[in-house]
């Protein structure tokens, strides 16, 4: 796939995808922050739904993450049983693998269940 052969952008996609697409970094961009407060997953033990806010920060080298592919990627966790900490780690590794930034930091904040809010941060590369 060439960097402009997008599989999601500009297309009618009606299902989640675990593929992050990239495009060439524009000149002068040194930091990108993307966040969503509409991420859901399942507790891996009880199967109960969890709602998360995900904040992705990275220092792009040559590529940036395309936002529609990120939306579909985050949607892919909806039916997956995963702890908050593992979700942060998985997203950080996937972003790092997809766009190969200098560094990547992902923070996942799980909305309270049982009165406890969980916040987990994972990094990849050198901050």
Question: Given 50, 64, 84, 104, which residue is catalytic?
Answer: 50
Per DSSP bridges, beta strands 22-24 and 63-65 are: antiparallel
Is 50 a catalytic site residue? yes
In the chain, how long is the greatest CA-to-CA distance?
Answer: 47
DSSP secondary structure string for all residues of 35-72: EEEEEEEE-TTT--EEEEEEEEEEE-SSEEE-HHHHHH
How many Å apart are CA 127 and CA 124, to the nearest integer? 8
Question: Given 5, 35, 37, 43, which residue is catalytic?
Answer: 43
Q: Which residues are catalytic?
A: 43, 50
């Amino acid at each position: 796939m060439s960097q402009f052969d997008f599989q999601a952008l500009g297309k009618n996609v009606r299902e989640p995808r675990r593929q992050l697409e990239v495009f060439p970094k524009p000149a002068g961009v040194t930091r990108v922050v993307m966040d969503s407060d509409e991420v859901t997953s399942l507790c891996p033990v009880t199967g109960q739904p969890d709602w998360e806010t995900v904040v992705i920060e990275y220092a792009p080298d040559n590529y940036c993450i395309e936002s529609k592919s990120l939306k579909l990627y985050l949607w892919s966790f909806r039916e997956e049983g995963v702890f908050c900490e593992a979700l942060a780690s998985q997203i950080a590794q996937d972003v790092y693998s997809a766009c190969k930034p200098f560094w990547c930091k992902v923070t996942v904040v799980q909305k309270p269940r049982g009165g406890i809010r969980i916040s987990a941060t994972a990094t990849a590369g050198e901050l």
